[in-house]
Amino acid sequence: MKKQCVFIVVMLVSSLGWSQQTALDSQKAMEVKKGVMRSAQATRTIVADFVQAKHLSFLSKDIISKGNLIFKDPNLIKWSYSTPFVYSVIFKENNLLINDAGKKSNIDLSSTKMFKQLNTLIAKSIKGDMFDEQKFDIQYFKTKNNYVVTFTSKEEAMHSFIKKFELTFDGKTYQVMKIKMIESPEDYTLITFTSLLVNKDVNDEVFTH
């Protein structure tokens, strides 16, 4: 009787898990990839609010920060944090332009290959344009309303920063909704976009220091 109960509980739990996220077959995966790439190609700008949750296994709760993102094709990005600290960073060509509560600084990324690569990946992930099978093992999943695509870097050196990117795309528009950057099974950063506006006019002056 006890064994039967355990079996039922295991079946229930696994079916719940199954209904939350299921792997897509190759045909459906190809449709999702095409949908996301179509959306990415049509995206010139993105303006969105975001909530960032930093999860570290040893903390009692996630560290939450909030702000605003402005993206302009092909690779201009500005992240502005407004709470609980005031901080903005602009990715522009080979530079990071930082404004830390009024203190401005520049970081030249040309000498820091890994950071440059990381920033390129973040730019690509915002747009949803990361389908490079040379660089990533890519897996596709379906949730109730959306799609989740995971990108595991094939470069060992990249793993010291981020082992896996997990992007959630809207099931209808294929716009990116969430970016999860997984450092280890226990530690990750989850960025969730809200009030996302696509192709709104964005002046280049936004990206000046």
Partner 1 sequence: MMKFLHISLLFILLTTSCGRPLFNLSEGESFTEGDFENPYFSSHDIDYVYKARIEVFSSTLGGLLIIKKIEKNHHRVVFTTEFGTKLLDFEFKGATFKVNFIQQKMNKKMLIHLLRKDFELLISQFNPIHKMYLLEGNNVFLSKKEGKYRYYFTDKNERLTKISSGRKRREQVIILFDKNSDNLAEEIQIKHKNFKLNIELSFLH
Q: Where on the chain is the footprint of partner 1 (CB under 8 A)?
A: 52, 54, 56, 58-61, 63, 65, 79, 81, 84-85, 87, 89, 98, 100, 105, 112, 114, 118, 160-162, 181, 183, 187, 189
**CB burial class (10 A; 0-12, 13-18, 19+) of residue 188?**
buried
Minimum distance, C-beta of residue 70 to partner 1, in the bound complex (Å): 16
Minimum distance, C-beta of residue 193 to partner 1, in the bound complex (Å): 15
Minimum distance, C-beta of residue 128 to partner 1, in the bound complex (Å): 19
Nearer to partner 1, 26 or 58 (CB): 58
Query: How far is the C-alpha of 93 from the C-alpha of 39, rounded, in Å?
Result: 24
Nearer to partner 1, 87 or 142 (CB): 87
Nearer to partner 1, 112 or 152 (CB): 112
Nearer to partner 1, 19 or 184 (CB): 184
Peptide bond into 74 cis (omega under 30): yes
Nearer to partner 1, 32 or 162 (CB): 162
Minimum distance, C-beta of residue 5 to partner 1, in the bound complex (Å): 36
Query: How far is the C-alpha of 179 from the C-alpha of 209, rounded, in Å?
Result: 26
139 backbone dihedrals φ, ψ, rounded to 5°: -130, 145
CB-facing half-sphere around the CA of 141: CA atoms within 13 A: 16
Cα dihedral 93, 188, 42, 36, rounded to 10, equals 140
Write down the residue that tokens 């970016």 correspond to. Answer: 179
CB-facing half-sphere around the CA of 207: CA atoms within 13 A: 20
**CB burial class (10 A; 0-12, 13-18, 19+) of residue 109?**
buried
Nearer to partner 1, 44 or 116 (CB): 116
Minimum distance, C-beta of residue 141 to partner 1, in the bound complex (Å): 23
Minimum distance, C-beta of residue 85 to partner 1, in the bound complex (Å): 5
